[in-house]
Amino acid sequence: MHEALNHVAVRSLWPVPIGRQLVVTNREEGESLYLTAEVLEKLLVAVATRQDRDAFGSLFGHFGPRIKTFFRRGGMSPEMAEELVQETMLRVWRKASHYDPGRAAVSTWIFTIARNLRIDFNRRQRDPSLLPSDPVDVPPSIEDELLAAERDENVRLALAKLSPEQQAIIRLSYYIEKSQTEIASELGIPLGTVKSRIRLAMNRLRAVLDEDQ
């Protein structure tokens, strides 16, 4: 736990702003705040310019569960995922002034930090003698972009061009964050069909985004 933020972010607990104070409340696993891209940008600017802890708490409440899901999808243990959520948000706090809204959405910027930490973690898993470091920025994959720019305008426009079936499978998997087993149960289809539909839908989304660039 990082002492500088230990009263703001507590493992498995998510902070929410009350007036000018931050309080920590229990949140159900996977539950998260939803904030628009415009609000997220204002919050990050507040962190960058004023070190606003209320704004940081709202960013943590929005991104914490989503980042944990991102790490868990990569096969990371719950404990390590939570630890890297803390590290990700600590870097957001420290590097907020580096954010350039002209280059990326807030969500894309934060998930790039998370993805770099995941790359660094995997590198150290292969060679424990390596020390943690800031890895070079790596462009996020389409899956990372989807998680990061959750309701980003470009993604929403691209999704609208997909079939209703493809839109539904992507929303269930990446927005509502259901497991493939849960999706299979909810839709009443085999697990293999779910996997196939997700793969085809993501390929189609990739193609649409490429066409629109």
Domains in the chain, CATH or no CATH each: 3-151 (1.10.1740.10), 153-213 (1.10.10.10)
Q: What letter represents residue 21's amino acid?
A: Q
φ, ψ for residue 22, nearest 5 deg: -110, 130
Q: What letter represents residue 127's amino acid?
A: D
Nearest C-alpha neighbor of 107 from the set 168, 37, 198, 185: 37
| pTM of structure | 0.53
What integer pLDDT is reported at residue 212 of this predicted model?
Answer: 66
Distance of CA 140 to the CA centre of its chain: 12
The better pLDDT of the pair 7, 90 is held by 90
At 127, the pLDDT band (50, 70, 90 cuts) reads low
Residue 181 CB neighbour total at 10 angstroms: 10
Nearest C-alpha neighbor of 64 from the set 99, 98, 101, 114: 114
Please identify which residue in the block is written with the tokens 């948000």. 89
Question: Which residues are CB-contacts of 162 (< 8 A; sequence separation ≥ 6)?
Answer: 170, 201, 204, 205, 208
Nearest C-alpha neighbor of 117 from the set 78, 151, 74, 152: 74
Buried b (16+ CB within 10 A) or exposed e, 135-160: eeeeebeeebbbbbbbebeebeebbe
What integer pLDDT is reported at residue 44 of this predicted model?
Answer: 94
Q: What letter represents residue 162's amino acid?
A: L
Residue 59 has pLDDT above 90, yes or no: yes
Residue 19 CB neighbour total at 10 angstroms: 7
Structure tokens at 172: 């269930």
Q: How much is the average pLDDT of 61-68?
A: 89
